[in-house]
Chain A
Amino acid sequence: MKDLAHIRNFSIVAHIDHGKSTLADRLIQATGALTEREMKEQVLDSMDIERERGITIKAQTVRLIYKARDGEEYVLNLIDTPGHVDFGYEVSRSMRAVEGSLLVVDASQGVEAQTLANVYQAIDADHEIVPVLNKIDLPAAEPDRVREQIEDVIGIDASEAVLISAKTGLGIPDVLEAIVTRLPSPKGEAAAPLKAMLVDSWYDAYLGVIVLVRVIDGVLRKGDRIRMMQTGAIYQTDRVGVFTPKMLETDVLGPGELGFLTASIKQVRDTRVGDTITSERGGCAKPLPGFKPAVPVVFCGLFPVDSADFEDLRDAIEKLALNDASFTYEMETSAALGFGFRCGFLGLLHLEVVRDRLEREYEIDLITTAPSVVYHLHMTDGSMREMHNPADMPDVVKIDRIEEPWIRATILVPDDFLGDVLKLCQERRGIQMDLTYAGSRAMVVYRLPLNEVVFDFYDRLKSVTRGYASFDYQMDGYEAGSLVKMQILVNEEPVDALSTIVHRDKAEMRGRSMCEKLKELIPQHMFKVPIQAAIGGRVIARETISALRKDVTAKCYGGDVTRKRKLLEKQKAGKKKMRQFGKVEIPQEAFINALKMDG
Chain B
Amino acid sequence: MGDLGASRAELSAADWRAGGFGVYVHWPFCLAKCPYCDFNSHVARVIDQDAWADALVAEMRHMRALTGARRAGTMFFGGGTPSLMAPRTVARLIEEADRLWGLAEGAEITLEANPTSVEAAKFQGYAAAGVNRVSMGVQALDDADLKALGRMHSVAEARAAFDIARAAFRRVSFDLIYARMGQTPEAWEAELRAAIGMAIDHLSLYQLTIEEGTRFFDLHRRGRLSVPEDAVAAEMYAITQSLAAEAGMPAYEVSNHAAPGTESRHNLVYWRSGDYAGIGPGAHGRVTRADGLRLATATERAPGAWMAAVACSGHALVEQTPLSAAEHGDEMVLMGLRLAEGISLARYAAVAGRPLDAARISAMEAEGLVERRGERLVATPAGRLVLDRLLGELLA
Contact = CB atoms under 8 A, between A and B. Distances in A.
Interface in B176-193: none
A206 interface: no
Contact of B334 (A549, A568, A575, A583): A568
Interface in A401-458: none
B388 A558 contact: no
Contacts of B208: 554
A556 B337 CA distance: 12
Contacts of A397: none
Choose among B230, B237, B396 the residue with the greatest number of A CB atoms under 10 Å from its CB.
B396
Contacts of B396: 568, 571-572, 575
Contact of A568 (B209, B284, B330, B363): B330
A570 to B, nearest CB: 9
Interface stretch (B165-173, B350-358, B379-387): B379-387
Interface stretch (B58-66, B116-124, B195-203, B275-283): B275-283
A572 B209 contact: no
Nearest to A569: B330
B231 A552 contact: no
A559 B386 contact: no
A540 B11 CA distance: 70
Nearest to B282: A559
B365 to A, nearest CB: 13
A167 interface: no
Contact of B267 (A527, A557, A568, A571): A557
B331 A552 contact: no
A285 interface: no
B286 A558 contact: yes
Interface string A53-65: 0000000000000
A555 interface: yes
A571 B285 CA distance: 24
Contacts of A556: 254, 270, 334-335, 338
A526 B369 contact: yes
B391 A558 contact: no
A48 B207 CA distance: 51
Contact of A558 (B234, B278, B369, B395): B278
A551 B388 contact: yes
Contacts of A583: 363
Contacts of B335: 556, 561
Contacts of B363: 583
Interface in A562-580: 562, 564-565, 568, 571-572, 575
B297 to A, nearest CB: 10
B386 A568 contact: no
Residue among A553, A558, A571, A583 with most chain B CB within 10 A: A558
Given A568-B395, A575-B396, A526 B386 contact: yes
A554 B384 CA distance: 11
Interface string A101-138: 00000000000000000000000000000000000000
Nearest to B335: A561
A552 B381 CA distance: 12
Interface in A504-528: 526-527
B8 to A, nearest CB: 28
Contacts of B285: 558
Interface string B97-131: 00000000000000000000000000000000000
B255 interface: yes
Contact of B387 (A527, A549, A552, A558): A552
A561 B284 CA distance: 9
Interface in A255-281: none
A556 B388 CA distance: 11
B237 A550 contact: yes
Contacts of B330: 565, 568
Contact of A555 (B231, B255, B388, B389): B255
A367 B189 CA distance: 49
A5 interface: no
Interface string B279-318: 0001111100000000010100000000000000000000
B255 A554 contact: yes
A47 B267 CA distance: 59
A331 interface: no
B367 A549 contact: no
Nearest to A552: B387
A548 interface: yes
B298 A568 contact: no
Nearest to A573: B396
B230 A561 contact: no
A407 B209 CA distance: 56
B24 interface: yes
Contact of A554 (B206, B267, B391): B206
A564 B335 CA distance: 9
Contacts of A558: 24, 269-270, 276, 278, 284-286
A547 to B, nearest CB: 8
Contact of A557 (B207, B270, B298, B390): B270
B389 A551 contact: yes
Nearest to A575: B396
B343 interface: no
B142 interface: no
Contacts of B327: 565
A568 B391 contact: yes
B327 to A, nearest CB: 6
B340 to A, nearest CB: 14
B234 A550 contact: yes
A389 B330 CA distance: 43
Contacts of B267: 557
Given A549-B231, A550-B233, A552-B385, A571 B286 contact: no
A587 to B, nearest CB: 14
Contacts of A527: 367
Contacts of A559: 39-40, 278, 282-284
Contacts of A554: 206-209, 254-255
B386 A551 contact: yes
B5 interface: no
Contacts of B231: 549-550
B286 A526 contact: no
A552 B231 CA distance: 13
Interface in B12-42: 24, 39-40
B369 A550 contact: no
A551 B382 CA distance: 11
Contact of A553 (B209, B269, B270, B284): B209
A548 B24 contact: no
Contact of B254 (A526, A552, A562): A552
B334 A564 contact: yes
B392 interface: yes
A554 B395 CA distance: 20
Contacts of B391: 568, 571
B331 A565 contact: yes
A553 B286 contact: no
B393 interface: yes
Contact of A526 (B269, B276, B390): B390
A536 B207 CA distance: 48
Contacts of B276: 558
B386 A548 contact: yes
Contacts of A549: 230-231, 233-234, 385-386
A571 B296 CA distance: 21
Given A526-B386, A550-B234, 10 more contacts: A526-B393, A549-B234, A556-B270, A556-B338, A558-B24, A559-B278, A561-B331, A565-B327, A565-B331, A568-B334
Interface of A: 526-527, 548-559, 561-562, 564-565, 568, 571-572, 575, 583
21 contacts: A526-B369, A549-B230, A551-B387, A551-B388, A552-B385, A552-B386, A554-B208, A554-B209, A555-B209, A555-B255, A556-B270, A556-B335, A557-B267, A558-B284, A561-B296, A561-B335, A562-B296, A565-B331, A568-B396, A572-B396, A575-B392
- The 9 tightest CB contacts between A and B, nearest first, are A571-B392, A572-B396, A550-B234, A552-B387, A554-B206, A559-B284, A558-B270, A575-B396, A549-B234
